[in-house]
Structure 1
Amino acid sequence: MLRRDGEVLPLGGRALDILIYLSGHPGEVISKQTLIDHVWSDVTVEEGSLRVHVAAIRKALGDGKFGNRYIANIQGRGYSFVGTVAEVGNNAADTAPRRHHGPLPARPRRLVGREPVLSEVMDNLRAERFVTLLGPGGIGKTTIAVAAGHAIAEEFGGDVYFVDLGSLTDPDHVVRAIGTSLGLVLKSNAASAELIELIHSRKLLIILDSCEHVIEAVAWVAEQLFQGAGQVHLLATSRELLRVEGEHCYRVLPLDLPPADSEQTAVAVLRYPAAQLFVERVTARGGNFVLTDREAPLVADLCRRLDGLPLAIELAAGPVAALGIRGTVARLLSRLELLKLGHRTAIPRHQTFKATLDWSYDLLSGMERIVFRRIARFVEQFSLEGARQVAGEQGSDDGEICDAIAGLVEKSLICTQLDHGQPQYRLLDTTRVYALEKLKEHDEFDAISLRHAEYVIQQLEPQKEMLSTLPRAERVAAYSRQLSNVRSALEWSFGLHGNDEIATRLAAASMQPFLELSLLIECCIWAERAIARFGNQHKNSRREMEICASLSLALMHTEASGQRVREAFSRALDVAVIQRDFAYELRLLSGLFMYSHWTMDIRGATEIAVRSKKLALKTGDPDDMALTEAMLAASDHLLGNHPAAQLHCESGLRYLASGPRFRTEQYLLHYTSFLLVGMARSLLYGGLLDQSLDYAKRAREEGKRSGDPATYCRSLALVIPVFLTMADLRQSDQYIGELSDLSTAHSLTPYRAIATGLKGQWLLLQNNRIDGIGLLKRALEELHAQHHEMLNMDFTCDLARALGDVGKHEQALILTVNAIEQQQRAGKFLHMPALFRVKGIILASRSANDYPEAEKSLLISIEWARRQSANLFELKSAIDLAELLISQKRMAEAYRHISAALNQTPHGMVSPIHDRARQILSRFQSNIRAAG
């Protein structure tokens, strides 16, 4: 059916078939015989029948009324549909945009004249894996690449990623930009090997857009990806070839345009995509526009002079609504020949495109020109307020800036969109490059760059307090919108013509955005560059304190818990004390405590916890008190004082329940999840497994709710052992997978090693000792290199026991004895019950001659467990001791030890360990009844 405004128009079936066929080939000339063969395939008809039905279609559509044209008769050739066609789905599902996992820009609304190109690019991409779209600026390479990404996305399971290289000014940042677009945070700017390792097994498409200004860096990493990641497909856009292995060039040609010697009627001109694009863009701006035969030659000439470049054509279409088609085209054509008198060595297309932009610039008013070149310092979006501060002069009329921005929007030099109800503006990349050149021509680049940097600072500094009360997702969204401008301002500020005062101030203000966005490597880079610029002026300043604190946190999560971390924390703490800033001192202590906790520095952790408690008592803030209770709990846990740790956790949770939390984000330790983790682990050691499991679930949920990858990883790492103790293989495997994926994506190297060790423990529960041993060894090596000791002894115990199980008793015994001696020398007693238990198990399995020594070790383990109220480990060792005694026919002693251990846990406790103990006890009781 054919409808207009919901009403069905009277049209016969044959006529409707003709209309469907013509509208399905817009702009093409369809011969009369082709239409007859298609519509009347089963009968023979005369050409007159076709004319009758075409006339009926024209009448139904109102062809010719109010200047509307739909079907043109091309004399001697056939008919052509010259109206505008847009596809509309039949239901909501059809019209809903498809979602993609990667940050792919929106699907282009319509590709004028590019359908064959799109098909060829997709075919080449499938066959060659690596395609570069080659062509001059403004020819539509990005549009084609994005359209190809959408069209082929399903073949990659939605894994299509768009990397915008246009905003980069430093080639060293190319690899990092690719990693960021893929949701990865890499260790260094040039970590191509790490990038390949993370994605080599994935099938995905990476679109590298605007490569030309960082061509060497892109060429190098693209070749590495092509060679090292066999399922990764690459689609690049560039003004020059990368010239590397695997690259397949697809040269994007200009849109087909009317030749000078061709027919110049409106119908003839509109057969060419260049003219179609021009008319379509004019129509979009000016309403019902119809190209006439009188104006068609002007449009054809314009398209030729613009070389069929889509961007140039779109720019040329901009003023038509204001000046009319004749005035616009005539004015443009009158300027082109003069503006071509530029650099003779430039290629013609560059001359032509520059002419188009020069013409657009010349049409602007004086204030519009000033604003246009000055807003070029903004990368991606900016606000009207930003334009006022960067482009305006002190004391100038803000109304003039507003009018200039409105004029630039009207002239299509600025894109605009609504963001949270507020208009946001953006210069197209190619237009921005042109405007920057104008800024330099007027010798304003450094002055305006300084204003831009100052504006970015003014946006960032007040946001710390304001955004801290918002959910993390909203903070991340706010900082993400500013990221490109932050980077651009930093690069200028630290550049040759930058300003040290602004640079260090900007670095301090940008630390929080980098941390919130988990851009930890980038945070380290700018922090270290700022520290190098401080000099004496900012020694002991708040600026130095904030930058050192951020550096220490970023280093701790990306490199290792080494001396650099402690030095950065200590320097920041010294400044906080000098500044008498108790709140910031407590923030820093929370980070330094986390460092001590990771490295199992029990004395250091205890001192920090006590110092923090004194500060919290001064502030009287419930959040501060909750934080310090979390520290004290963790400190007591490391000391093996589990009842005290549990009491501190309960106290901290009461502080949390006492009122709303306003300052949780100011700390470097997410104490809410940490308190829940502390409860889970204290209850686990105490043998209260059902309660421990409940807190473990809550801790995981709280860690995930925080939105911070490091917090979530820490929560998972410390509660997964609870699920492993309960032998919940399905849930623990899922959480280990989450930990591995998240730590890999954000380059949180310690947690990635912990995930490896936990997977090894999981495999041992499946009796897969060979693979489990391999993973545990790897995890311990990596954690030792990173100075991370939190779960080292857990992995050491399981590794030693597994080695004993496969007959490598000497290796297992050496590993265990060395660990015991090391822990005793360092005054670390938390793992003594587990270590002596494993030593006893290994000795018992090695030889009957070792039974006395094995018994002694198990008794020492029980003694340590009782001293720490670690009832779980007392029960484990009692079970092992009972089985050893049973093998020697010492039934009464075995019964006594296992009964004593079971009496320490609540009746009815269900777990694999308790079940095993009850089975042994049941055997004793059965034997006693049988003997009686």
Structure 2
Amino acid sequence: MADDELRGNLLFGPFELSSTERVLRRDGLALPLGSRALDILIYLVERPGEVIAKQELIDHVWPDVTVEEGSIRVHVAAIRKALGAGQFGNRYIANIKGRGYSFVGTVIPLGGATESSNARSRHQGRLPLRPIAMVGHEALVGEVGDKLRNDRFVTLLGPGGIGKTTIAQAVGRAVAERFGRDVYFVDLESLTDPLHVAPAVAATLGLALKTKDPGLELVDLIRSRKLLIILDNCEHVIETVAPLAEQLYQQTEAVHILTTSRELLKVEGEHCCRVLPLDFPPDGSEQTANEVLRYPAAQLFVRRLATRAGRVVLADREAPFVAEICRKLDGIPLAIELAAGQVAVLGLKNTVDLLMSRLELLKLSHRTAVARHRTLKATLDWSYDLLSDAERIVFRRIAPFVGHFTLDGARSVTDEPGVGAEEIFDAVAGLVEKSLIATQIDAAQAQYRLSNTTRAYALAKLEEHAEVDIVFGRHAEYLAGHLETLREALSALPGAERVLAYSDQLSNVRAALEWSFGPHGDAATATRLAAASTQVFLELSLLIECQAWAERAMASLGNPHRDSRRAMEISASIPLAMMHTEGNDQRVRTAFTNALEIAIEQGDIAYELRILSGFFMYSHWIMDIRGATDIAIRSKKLALRTGDHADMALAEAMFAASEHLLGNQLAAQLHCESGLRHLASGPRSRTEPYLFHYTSFLLVGMARSLLYRGLLDQSLDYARRALEEGKRSGNPATLCRSLALVLPVFLAMADLKQSDQYIGELSELSVAHSLMPYRAIAAGLKGQWLLLQGDRIEAIQLLKKALEELHVQRHEMLNMDFTCDLAAALVHLGEHEQAMTLTVNAIEQQQRAGKLLHMPALFRMKGLILASRSVEDHLDAEESLLSAIDWAKRQWATLFELMAATDLAALLQKQDRLPEACEYLSASLERMPAGISFPARRRAEEMLGQLQSGTDHVG
């Protein structure tokens, strides 16, 4: 947030802080706070979310005095006392151990400013769809909510099947309004690798982690937010969850944590809420239907029975059997649900008899959590014993599936001699009826799922039969084949639908990859699966994970891999991931070159074009104009061989971008128009099979070339279309590229509201998906936006930061734009020499490399610096501005010609050379195409009016 926005009167919670009056008020009443404490509070509040080092605070508050850190602590304590120790995020100042202090509240400038609905929507929590109505734990929901309010960190403790997840979701909904609906449910059930815990939490929050200390990074990203994180099913990754939860508790002030686990995390701050079994009719109690149904366990049983057998009305003669079942199952919800499933098939009396025959397993009471666990296992054992041979085989062999699977998936892992497809399908149906498998009906086909506890039980049965490796091998082979088929099947779907389809596969893909590359895996299966899964990770923008698996697969392939199609598919994904997450260094070029060589050896033109498209994007971003042009020529030759309109559109997009980099804006526009005609000519029966989205790229190209040519109304239309296409692609990197390249159009129109919204979107997407170059670009664009409002101090900081990061990442496309604006800001602050050095170096660097696109802007900036530096420099300034006009004419960059001509006219006006000024400006305006008004045109027209008025007066 800009410094100017956070000065004056500021609101946070019930407090109003005036930095000008130097007073803190609550409900209109001034609060007693010392001068030094006010200095500290104002300094922190004006930088919400930042971690301010203690020494920095000392230097600010006591600039000429040597004091100890203890003085800071005393004043911070006074501030906290004045603010009060409120509930749910009302703790405003966080002490970041070893680093300093941070103001973690939400700050609103007084004067009607509020957080935008878009900003709020970006932080909305994610809770699963409303579960089946909860029975018997309503009071516990309120108790947990109160504990969260007071203690911030609560663990729901209990055995599997006790209902912890249902209660946690209910708590999340009950307290959602207190957190502004910023409640996030993280299901850890599907995780098999503890290292995925922090990334899973971050992904649920819409973030992505990229450092080697994910816990600390996650804390830093959410430190200033008030939210509730629900970590569900922690027990199997408890060694990783425990320290992460402790970090979140210790190092934040407003983050609340609710975990569900079969054992305590045993870390600081944790408060336990034990989930007890549902109350059931005690032995010897009245056994009428009305009395039995007073107990939650019986209510749950009847409800679940009704879902399987239709409407159920419990009669008095049946009530004792229901009471007996609930007693024998100790009121454990999952066990009751399993029993209800059997009752639908066997009837009440037979079910009770079967339970009674297993008393040796059921008699273990509920004295400890372990005993409850055994009781649940007894229920599962009992259910397993009731299965047919085919059902038992299918049940244990579907254990590798994490998340949803289909009938085809079940058939692929079963593969038992003498068991046909129909028997497998019947077995799956039987398992659904017995509540061992959950199901949901999709538009295309039914999806099935094992609960976490049931899957663990099935895995144990798989181990008992010594089938783990063979069945996990089948699972991996099935996933590889399924992904290969899925890629083709999804090719015609919109990006958002592809993302949804691939998201459903992610947990299974990870599990299969981990086994395949593990000690008992198969190398051939591993590389096949890695090749097939690259599309999943790329579609979901999990680029770091994509690179990790791909590099592991390439190492597994070894040296003699040139004849491997899988090597081609795997190697193509590595540089694409690297350039978005690490930058455009030489390794990216080498990786693309290697992938291209394999594609050529394979004789696969389609894949050669795919790799060339990624290679072109790399060349485009580093402004390797010769390399980009060579790739465009090569792609055009391949496209002519295929005769495919999509391939031709790709080649035209490349030529358009190359011409744009060369400064040939008219040629760039013509290539874009040709590419769009190809898209209109051919059927769009498939999605774009390249490593960059050429449709959005063509629309971006049109927007930029039309901007340079001064056709801003048309440019705006194409910019909006490019963003719509980027969103439709479902790919964050594609949308980020579109945002980055068309935002200059909105800035040229001085559309501050729309620009700010898009910059915020770019920033959030880049952080959430670890797209480092776009994060730097977002900072630079924010700097440009601040300059439009006259906030030069923060603008300079952001522009310098962007240029430094983009230099390290070799991401040069927008560097010169940021350089020119940085120089302009420095000139306004009187830093002429620094601005001149920056600009002259940029001109020499661009000329030396043959990068001509930014010559008009750079020479214009040099002229402005000289014109403002001294009268003695006016002649050189005039020469630079004339050079800018000349460069702009050669490039058909009419907008930049007009801007330079306006600056030249202003310079000549100072020298009373009004006729010359009129001549230059009139000629430039005449060359401007007709269209909408925008700031540069209005400035030129106002200047011309002044000049003509002055000329008439002189005459």
Q: Do both proteins adopt the same fold according to a TM-score greater than 0.5, normalized to the shorter chain?
A: yes
Measure, in 1, the Cα distance between the counterparts of 2:420 and 2:922. Answer: 88
Please, which of 709, 718, 727 is the counterpart of residue 750 of structure 2? 727
Deviation for aligned residue 1:664: 4.5
- 1:701–1:350 Cα change, 3 Å: closer
Aligned to 1:916: 939
Shift of 1:371: 1.2
Q: Comparing 805-814 with 307-316, which one deviates more in the overlay?
A: 307-316
Give, in whole Å, the separation in 1 of the partners of 2:335 and 2:484: 40
Which position in structure 1 is the counterpart of 2:867? 844
Where structure 1 has 5 or more consecutive residues not aligned to the other structure, the ranges are: 1-98
| Aligned counterparts of 1:374 and 1:289: Cα–Cα separation in 2 | 34
Which moved further from structure 2: 668-677 or 787-796? Answer: 668-677
Q: Does 1:600 align with 2:623?
A: yes
Task: Please name the residue that 1:675 is paired with.
Answer: 698
What's the counterpart of residue 622 of structure 1?
A: 645
* Conserved? CA contact 1:185–1:521, under 8 Å: no
SS of alignment partner, residue 318 of structure 1: helix
Mapped contact 2:390–2:419 kept (Cα < 8 A): no
- 1:898: which partner in 2? 921
Q: Report which stretch shifted further, 439-448 or 634-643.
A: 634-643
Q: Secondary structure at the match of 1:666?
A: coil
Amino acid at match of 1:610: I
**Any unmatched runs of 5+ in structure 2?**
1-121
Partner of 2:333: 310
Do structure 1's residue 389 and structure 2's residue 412 form an aligned pair?
yes
Q: Does structure 1 residue 438 correspond to structure 2 residue 438?
A: no
Deviation at 1:909, TM superposition (A): 6.1
Aligned residue in 1 for 2:528: 505
- Does residue 781 of structure 1 match 2:804? yes
Other-structure match for 1:466? 489
Q: Indicate if the aligned counterparts of 1:185 and 1:520 stay in contact, CA closer than 8 A.
A: no
RMSD of the alignment, in Å?
A: 2.4
CA distance in 2, matches of 1:414, 1:581: 44
Once residues 947 and 191 of structure 2 are traced to their aligned partners in structure 1, the CA distance between those partners, rounded to angstroms, is 74
Q: Tell me how far apart the structure 1 counterparts of residues 880 and 900 of structure 2 sit (CA, whole Å).
A: 9
Contact 1:186 1:195 in 2 (8 A): yes
1:107, 1:150 within 8 Å by CA — same for their partners in 2? no
Select which of 768, 771, 774 maps to 1:751: 774
Q: CA deviation at 1:266?
A: 5.3
Distance change in 2, residues 1:298/1:770 (3 Å): same
How far the C-alpha of 1:300 sits from its partner, in A, is 4.6
Does the residue aligned with 1:174 lie in a helix, a strand or coil? helix
CA deviations over 1:627-682 (Å, ceiling 9, x no partner): 11111111111111222212212222222222323455201121112112112212
The answer (yes or no) to whether the contact 1:834–1:873 under 8 Å persists in 2 is yes
SS at match of 2:398: helix
Between the aligned partners of 1:353 and 1:916, the Cα distance in structure 2 is: 78
Equivalence for 1:802: 825
TM-score, reference length from structure 1: 0.85
Q: Is the 8 A contact 1:672 1:702 kept in 2?
A: yes
Residues 337 and 730 of structure 1: is their aligned pair in 2 closer, same or farther, counting only changes over 3 Å?
same
Question: Aligned letter for 1:206?
Answer: I
Q: Distance in 1 between matches of 2:682 and 2:321?
A: 73
The 10-residue stretch of structure 1 (291-300 or 419-428) with the greater mean CA deviation from structure 2: 291-300
Please state how far the C-alpha of 1:282 moved relative to its aligned partner. Answer: 3.5
Please say if residues 494 and 728 of structure 2, whose CA atoms lie closer than 8 Å, have aligned partners that are also in contact. Answer: no
Q: 1:905 to 1:271 in 2, by over 3 A?
A: closer
Q: Structure 2 residue aligned with 1:424, among 442, 447, 450?
A: 447
Equivalent-residue separation in structure 2 for 1:724 and 1:751 (angstroms): 17
Q: What whole-Å deviation, never above 9, does each CA across 1:226-258 have from its counterpart, x for those lacking one? A: 334433322110111222233222111222234
Number of residue pairs aligned between Structure 1 and Structure 2: 833
Amino acid at match of 2:549: W
Distance 1:326 1:596, change over 3 A: same
* Structure 1 position 108 matched with structure 2 position 131: yes
What is the rounded CA distance, in whole Å, between the counterparts of 1:739 and 1:686 in structure 2? 26
Taking the TM superposition and a 5 Å limit, the aligned residue runs for 1:254-269 are: 254-260=277-283, 262=285, 267-269=290-292
Check conservation: 2:493, 2:687, Cα contact below 8 A: no
Work out whether residues 126 and 184 of structure 2, in 8 Å CA contact, stay in contact via their aligned partners in 1. Answer: yes
* Corresponding letter in the other structure for 2:218: L
> Residues 867 and 873 of structure 2 are in contact (CA less than 8 Å); yes or no, is this contact kept in structure 1?
yes
Distance in structure 1 (CA, Å) of the matches to 2:752 and 2:637? 43
Counterpart residue identity of residue 253, structure 1:
L
CA distance in 2, matches of 1:351, 1:825: 76
C-alpha deviation, 1:101, in angstroms: 5.1
Q: Distance in 2 between matches of 1:831 and 1:346?
A: 70
| Cα deviation, residue 213, structure 1 | 0.8
Deviation per CA, 1:348-383: give whole Å up to 9, x if none.
Answer: 222212111111111112221111111112122222
SS class of match (1:161): strand
Residues 1:431 and 1:647: Cα distance change in structure 2 (over 3 Å) = same
* Partner secondary structure for residue 317 of structure 1: helix
Aligned to 2:198: 175
1:21 corresponds in structure 2 to none
Is the contact between residue 173 and residue 189 of structure 1 (CA under 8 Å) also seen in structure 2?
no
Instruction: Quote how far apart the aligned CAs of 1:440 are.
Output: 0.4
* Paired letter, 1:768: D
What is the correspondence of 1:99-498 to structure 2 with a 5 Å cutoff?
Answer: 102-187=125-210, 191-260=214-283, 262=285, 267-287=290-310, 299-300=322-323, 302-337=325-360, 347-394=370-417, 396-498=419-521
Moved more, 163-172 or 184-193: 184-193
Distance 1:779 1:121 in 2: 45
1:527 CA drift (Å): 1.0
Q: Select between 119-128 and 918-927 the one with higher mean Cα deviation.
A: 918-927
**Cα displacement string for residues 76-96 of structure 1 (whole angstroms, at most 9, x for unaligned residues):** xxxxxxxxxxxxxxxxxxxxx
Aligned ranges 1:23-172 → 2 under 5 Å: 102-172=125-195
CA contact (8 A) 1:176 1:188 kept: no
**Is the CA contact (8 Å cut-off) linking 2:708 and 2:894 kept in structure 1?**
yes
- Which residue is 2:78 aligned to? none
User: Partners in 1 of 2:923 and 2:308 — Cα distance?
Assistant: 87
Per the alignment, do residues 895 and 286 of structure 1 end up closer, same or farther by CA in structure 2, a change over 3 Å counting?
Answer: closer
User: For 1:681 and 1:463, how far apart are their aligned partners in 2?
Assistant: 36
The answer (yes or no) to whether the contact 2:712–2:931 under 8 Å persists in 1 is no
Amino acid at match of 1:334: S
**Which whole-Å CA distance do the structure 2 matches of 1:796 and 1:269 have between them?**
78
Q: Quick one: distance in 2 between partners of 1:503 and 1:742?
A: 31
Which has the larger Rg?
Answer: 1
Shift of 1:290: 5.8
1:523 to 546, 551, 561: 546
Structure 1 residues 507, 730: CA separation in 2 closer, same or farther (over 3 Å shift)? same
1:688/1:423 Cα in 2 relative to 1: closer, same or farther (>3 Å)? closer
State the alpha-carbon separation in 2 of the partners of residues 219 and 187 from structure 1: 21
